[in-house]
Copies of this chain bind each other. A is one copy, B any other.
Amino acid sequence: MQKLVKDIKTAIEKCGLQDGMCIGFHHHLRGGDYVLNMVMEQIAELGIKDLTINASSIHESHTPLIEHMKNGTVTGLVTAYIGPTVGKAVSQGVLKNPVVFQTHGYRPAGMAKGEYRPDISFIAAPSSDPMGNCTGKIGKSACGSLGYAFSDAEYAGKVVVITDNLVDYPLTQYSISETSVDYVVKVDEIGDPKGIVSGTTRMPRNPVSLKIAQQAAKAIDASGLLKDGFSFQTGAGGASLATAAYLKDIMLEKEIKGSYALGGITGYLVEMLEAGCFQAIQDVQCFDLKAVQSIRDNPCHAEISAAHYASPDAKSSAASSLDVVVLGATEIDVDFNVNVHTDSNGYIMGGSGGHSDVAQEAKMTIIVAPLLRTRYAVVKKHVKCISTPGDSVDILVTEYGICVNPKREDLKQRLTEAGLLVVDIHDLQKKAEKITGIPEEPEEKESRVVAEVMYRDGSIIDRIYQV
């Protein structure tokens, strides 16, 4: 049996790609990914049209996709996140069909049910053997976890592994097994290491972020959840990351032995593992070199699939056991609904990723955000787009105080007793409005839907319109 073929074009032809099919990609190579672009270039040359891409995320490295959308090679996109450049083009109407925004947790659940199941998935693998046993943990383009690619391997009709580090059969420390793989292609480079992972995780120095982070850490301490067995997720954004830093100090001081850190993993969470704040890390995606080293070398640092991370259809996921998650927001409204999809002008510049997945699952969901960003209010009467319903959000931490969701009177009491400044979200919204002025009401003109926001139960909870 020979799976190794000479180039990407051959693999595409052998898989029988045809007009109208769905193709899958994962985003562990993030801003450094070459694979999506290389594959799309070959597909465009073959003259195949009307494809739907099901990609776990679209990053700034994927701007060539705009051309493929313009010329009809790609007419559909299913994803959990779109970076600002492709996002703006989509908001301007470049794509024929509305984007379907899923969550990271729903993607494997949807595929299992046959929704947007890729006819062919392309797996960018930092190391593979010739039969397709592959891993992200080793190789010059190492990215650590391949968590989002597991569902591609499991559900796609055909699976093509693309690697720049072909190793002898068998690769024993495989993440994805040869049982799922049809073809293997060796290329010179699958990505730019500088874009795949950051060299180091940098703490923010912005005093507003630091203040918010400190308050968030104190809120966690006051919540009653910070005790032995504590589990925690935070993102790589400034205030989220800084929250981990303050939390680490509290945990070390109080000698709290946490259970696990979850999510996209930064070196900062690895340091907390190594310092004994946690006994384990569950990792669906690595953000920096330290996380990649740790997932390779530390047996307490586990690679998990997207389903294991947060699938709503899993019998349980790592998110099911999560105590606290700290998340960001582009906008949040007085009902605690959060927007992470569009910017202040209504352009797509993000997406849920796993935001609404873990927000729903965690015992306490904290949004950290400043009251204003440049001249725009973050706290508003209504968000432009609901990414995560307010029902999933417990508190908002700003530099002007902490707002508690009315459904969490218990938490409000705890925070107040701890001496934290609890404020009404309506007051914050008015304060922001006073500074920015009353924003122009969006024109109610008939505008085309450019994206639908699918919640983790498969329902459409919002629509994004052409700008």
Contacts and interface: CB of A to CB of B under 8 A. Distances in A.
A90 B135 CA distance: 46
Interface string A294-314: 000001111011011001001
A181 B316 CA distance: 8
Contact of A302 (B174, B280, B320): B174
B302 A178 contact: no
A159 B260 contact: no
Contact of A320 (B131, B168, B172): B131
Contact of A314 (B178, B302, B316): B178
A320 B1 contact: yes
A127 interface: no
Contacts of A1: 316, 320-321
Nearest to A179: B314
A371 interface: no
Contact of A170 (B168, B170, B318): B318
A259 interface: yes
Contacts of A308: 177-179
A259 B168 CA distance: 8
Given A172-B299, A280-B170, A311-B179, A132 B260 contact: no
Nearest to A299: B173
B316 A131 contact: yes
A170 B178 CA distance: 27
A182 to B, nearest CB: 6
Contacts of A279: 168
Copies of this protein chain in the complex: 2
Contacts of A132: 315-316
A323 to B, nearest CB: 12
Counting chain A residues whose Cβ lies within 8 A of the other chain, the interface size class is 35 or more
A299 B170 CA distance: 12
A179 B313 CA distance: 8
A458 to B, nearest CB: 18
Interface in A296-348: 299-302, 304-305, 307-308, 311, 314-318, 320-321
Nearest to A318: B170
- Please classify the interface of chain A as helix (H, G, I), strand (E, B), loop, or mixed, using the class held by over half of its residues: loop
A304 B174 CA distance: 10
A180 interface: yes
A234 interface: no
A229 to B, nearest CB: 8
Given A316-B1, A316-B181, A320-B1, A172 B305 contact: no
A49 interface: no
Contacts of A168: 229, 259, 279
A304 B177 contact: yes
A170 B231 CA distance: 10
Contacts of A169: 259-260, 321
Residue of A1, A178, A316 with most chain B CB atoms under a 10 A cut-off: A316
A361 to B, nearest CB: 10
A131 B321 contact: yes
A382 interface: no
A121 interface: no
28 contacts: A1-B316, A1-B320, A3-B315, A3-B316, A131-B316, A132-B315, A159-B315, A168-B259, A169-B259, A170-B259, A170-B280, A170-B282, A170-B302, A170-B318, A172-B282, A172-B299, A172-B300, A172-B301, A172-B302, A177-B304, A177-B308, A178-B308, A178-B314, A178-B317, A178-B318, A179-B311, A180-B314, A181-B315
Nearest 7 pairs between A and B by C-beta? A172-B302, A179-B314, A178-B316, A172-B280, A131-B316, A177-B308, A179-B308
